[in-house]
Amino acid sequence: MGSLGIVTKSTADPASILRSGRTYQELGPAEGQACRFFIIAIVPFGDSTFSTAVERALAEKGGDALINVTTSSSLYGFIPVYNILSFTCTTVKGIAVKFQ
């Protein structure tokens, strides 16, 4: 688990946003999750990246960025000896904000 101050969409420039001192409106708590699945340990599908989880959290609230963000990753396996199905998920939680 990790903790971050501000996370923006991958298309934004967080440094310029912070330098400009733009005001923002809090939209409330937001959570996003992104998972990648593996079948028989060789057929992967899905996207478990941090940026995908952030985009999903922001889409839920229509926000531009997340503040006070926590992130976690988890790995699950079913019948681990044969590795029939496993998946990894990245979860982000924070407060969605919209810049004015």
Alpha helix (H) residue ranges in 12-86: 14-20, 50-61
Q: Which CA distances in Å does 91 have to 7, 9, 21, 69?
A: 13, 15, 28, 10
Give me the domains of the chain, ranges plus CATH numbers.
Answer: 2-99 (3.30.110)
Query: pLDDT (tens digit, 0 to 9) for every residue of the chain, 100 residues total?
Result: 555 677 877 777 766 776 777 788 999 999 999 999 998 878 899 999 999 999 999 998 999 999 999 999 999 888 767 778 889 999 999 999 998 8
